[in-house]
A = this chain, B = another copy of it.
């Protein structure tokens, strides 16, 4: 479900003057709900739908009209966050310069996004269906995959292992670093350097 999907609006058949206004209200409500849900899921993973509606300043009926279940809402928040992360990753210019340097920049940005939304991703991993997670994983890792393809063409990254496995390696170690930070086994400040120092020798051409 897209974040601006208003197909659940019950106002499909209202008069011409009412519709744009109601659509604007719906979009404002959806934005407020997604913002509130991100805060609630992050600060208190067990937050109820009622608490999320209260934080968003909307009624429970409005919340359930747009997001019929906690799972749908969690998936929408994840989708929203990954879309925003995609915009941040563009600023790392992954298509420019030597692939090894671009990977370093991409890892640093990805780590910042992951670290900031660590609790949300942990919650998603516990509560969402593995197939749903896989779809979001593919969405989030699109830039990494493109960069690996370019780096393989340029001879910088290894071609003796499947491309999908190299993407899995990056994704798994990013999440493992986040879990180690949560568990107090890795310091937040050094995690990005540690990731780069581990991943580059694993990915580079021998």
Contacts and interface: CB of A to CB of B under 8 A. Distances in A.
A42 B164 CA distance: 26
Integer count of this chain's copies in the complex = 2
A201 B205 CA distance: 10
A176 interface: yes
A132 interface: no
A66 to B, nearest CB: 28
A194 B165 contact: yes
A25 interface: no
Contacts of A175: 172
Contacts of A134: 183
Interface in A112-137: 126, 134
Contact of A162 (B165, B176, B194): B194
A206 interface: yes
Residue of A169, A179, A206 with most partner-chain B CB within 10 A = A169
Interface in A155-169: 160-162, 164-165, 168-169
B194 A161 contact: yes
Contacts of A162: 185-186, 194
Nearest to A164: B185
Interface of A: 126, 134, 160-162, 164-165, 168-169, 171-173, 175-177, 179-180, 183, 185-186, 194, 197-199, 201-202, 204, 206
Given A162-B194, A168-B180, 19 more contacts: A134-B183, A160-B197, A161-B194, A162-B185, A164-B180, A164-B186, A165-B180, A168-B177, A168-B179, A168-B186, A169-B173, A169-B176, A169-B198, A172-B172, A172-B176, A201-B201, A201-B202, A201-B204, A201-B206
